[in-house]
Structure 1
Amino acid sequence: MIDKLIRRSIREMVGGGGPPVAFLSPAGDRGLFGPESIAWKVHADFISMMIGGISSLVLQALHPKALAGVWDHSSFREDLKGRLGRTAFFIAATTYGPNEMANSIINRVNQIHQKVTGLDEFNNPYRADDPNLLAWVHLTETRSFMRSYESYRSETLRPSQKDQYFAEMKMLGQRLGAIDLPDTYADTELAIQQYHPQLHYGDRAKSIISLLEHFPSSLGSRPFVKMISRAGFLNLPNWVYPIIDRPQPGRLERLAMTSAIRLMAIPVREALKDGVAAHSLRRIYGSPL
């Protein structure tokens, strides 16, 4: 009963359903990263990835040109679940999928980006394949995923493992057209700081961030979805709160949320234990480890 409620709540946020059998073949295909990578470890924790996904979307909404592409060329505002579902599948396919699946979805995204152009809210031209914008999306996603994993997984990563994650993800960012990406945790934080003068909290950003803050959900799933959404906002770096007109969360609120998420994560991880990562291990080794 609990497993069913959890899966329904997750579908309300990102869609999907059913066993990921597409990840079972071809036998022995290790994909882009392989099971020894830190990307496999971090991205396998679905609950911290959902939290990191919310915070990365908040950050991305603050860049007028990055937001303009979403505003003009996607159904984000009408179909938030669809947008998050497509992002979740892209991460799953590039992290765990066989090489053909990963390369196919990377090529498809690159082709889409080439067609996404227009003017932002200041009438400045933008292109979705602009390396500067692609780097912003990459930086905010990897930073958000790692920070969420640090906060909501009891397992501690060594500094060298954190740096390895950013080095691994650099390869993926470059495949998508970003350039001059950092390959350490510290340099990722520094790179994000360079974008501060480009950020703007206007009406468009307010609309998107309000949507993320009040994520639509059914009555039964609302407590779960609301907690994930709030945790996503708590996962933001401290410099963001003055920009988005929110008070910086206090230590007690952060501790309470960390405890609540870690407790909730126990049945979530149990419900999802036979997910994409487990199926991908079967593809590589022939049976679950």
Structure 2
Amino acid sequence: MNPLNLRASIANQVRQMTGGKGPPMAFLEPKGDPGLFGPQSMVWQVHAHFVPMLVGGLSSLLMQALHPLALAGVWDHSSFRQDLKARLGRTAFYIASTSYGGREMAMQSIHRVRHIHLAVIGTLPDGTPYRADDPVLLKWVHLGEVLSFLGAYQQFGAVPLASGQDDQYIQEMALLGELLGAEALPHHVSEANWMLQSYRSELVYDERTRSVVDLIENFPCRAIDAPVLKLIIAAAFHLLPEWALLMLGKTPASATEKLFVRHALKLVAKPIDWALDSEGVAAYSRKRVESIIC
């Protein structure tokens, strides 16, 4: 198989894991539009790498599941328990469109999610009310996502961000969180970690949380994807703060296990990054900004 066909084949396998269909042609337009962030941003650098993003996405779901009000929104108003892959696919498109899409595409995705949130209203079994557009809950979800994506990139990405670049990533992502309705978001990694821990008194491990953990640990996939997915799931747990891991009833992994998973995933990521370097969303978006017709 020649290199072009091999790249396309690997990229297609990656898209199948998240429910994507075909090359991301929509990201080629409008020419010259940098979107919300642009090619020089840390967002473009971090979000271009599939393996760390999948690790971070699953880890952030585990974190989100510890907050009963945040979990209730997806528990009562989505089909994620029946089709986790579809849920991840929708999240992946939202991240891709807001990170890499032209400004109109990005804002349309944000407005769509904000509109959906308006209808996500309900009560917990004990009668406690919740609403998905609550800035406090949006902030919790935002913190879990940005710290998980950043942490996964730093551990499993090819070239970690330098000192200061990690703060830049947090600052850039604050713009996205604020557009979605969150308030008073951090602009530094240390501040983000402090804010995340400030929610600990609100967190609960209950039957719903246990169901999410079981679902992620038994993520439905094709047999060919199972070995890699097992590593990714293990890495998602390794990425959690120790206090969150203990809340989930999990024993922290040994340093040897973490090192093995880290090196194994770095090897897995190499051919994927090679393929997506020309076939991924970031690559197509870069062509758009440079006004190159592929």
Task: State the TM bucket, normalised to the shorter chain.
Answer: over 0.9
Deviation at 1:5, TM superposition (A): 7.4
SS at match of 2:23: coil
Asked whether 1:146 is paired with 2:139, we answer no
Deviation at 1:230, TM superposition (A): 1.4
- CA distance 1:6–1:121, shift in 2 (3 Å): farther
Match of 1:61 among 50, 58, 65: 65
Distance 1:76 1:208 in 2: 9
Match of 1:43 among 47, 51, 65: 47
- CA distance 1:203–1:193, shift in 2 (3 Å): same
Aligned to 2:133: 129
Deviation per CA, 1:152-180: give whole Å up to 9, x if none: 12313122100000100001100011001
Asked whether 1:275 is paired with 2:280, we answer yes
Match of 2:214 among 210, 217, 235: 210
Could you state the TM-score of these two structures normalised by the residue count of structure 1?
0.96
Any residues of structure 2 matched to 1:99-138 within 5 Å, and which? 99-138=103-142
Contact 1:8 1:221 in 2 (8 A): no
Contact 1:12 1:217 in 2 (8 A): no
* Structure 1 stretch displaced more, 71-80 or 230-239: 230-239
Contact 2:24 2:284 in 1 (8 A): yes
Contact 2:144 2:196 in 1 (8 A): yes
What stretches of structure 1 move > 4 A for 4+ residues in a row? 1-9
Letter in 1 for 2:290: Y
Contact 2:97 2:109 in 1 (8 A): yes
Aligned to 1:264: 268
Letter in 1 for 2:212: I
Aligned to 1:79: 83
Distance 2:210 2:55 in 1: 19
Unaligned runs of 5+ in 2: none
Deviation per CA, 1:226-270: give whole Å up to 9, x if none: 221111111111111210111011111111111100111111112
SS at match of 1:272: helix
Distance 1:250 1:122 in 2: 38
Unaligned runs of 5+ in 1: none
Contact 1:9 1:221 in 2 (8 A): no
Percent identity between the two aligned chains: 48
Contact 2:122 2:131 in 1 (8 A): yes
Contact 2:276 2:283 in 1 (8 A): no
Aligned to 1:287: 292
Letter in 1 for 2:55: I
Aligned to 2:255: 251
Give RMSD over aligned pairs.
1.6
Distance 2:285 2:96 in 1: 10
Letter in 2 for 1:28: G
Contact 1:13 1:84 in 2 (8 A): no
Distance 2:217 2:184 in 1: 32
Match of 1:14 among 14, 18, 24: 18
SS at match of 2:164: helix
Aligned to 1:199: 203
Any residues of structure 2 matched to 1:211-226 within 5 Å, and which? 211-226=215-230
Contact 1:151 1:258 in 2 (8 A): yes
Contact 2:36 2:103 in 1 (8 A): yes
Contact 1:6 1:268 in 2 (8 A): yes
Aligned to 1:174: 178
- Tell me how many residue pairs correspond in the alignment: 288
Contact 2:31 2:289 in 1 (8 A): yes
Any residues of structure 2 matched to 1:224-235 within 5 Å, and which? 224-235=228-239
Deviation per CA, 1:169-202: give whole Å up to 9, x if none: 0011000110011110000000001100100010
Deviation at 1:122, TM superposition (A): 2.9
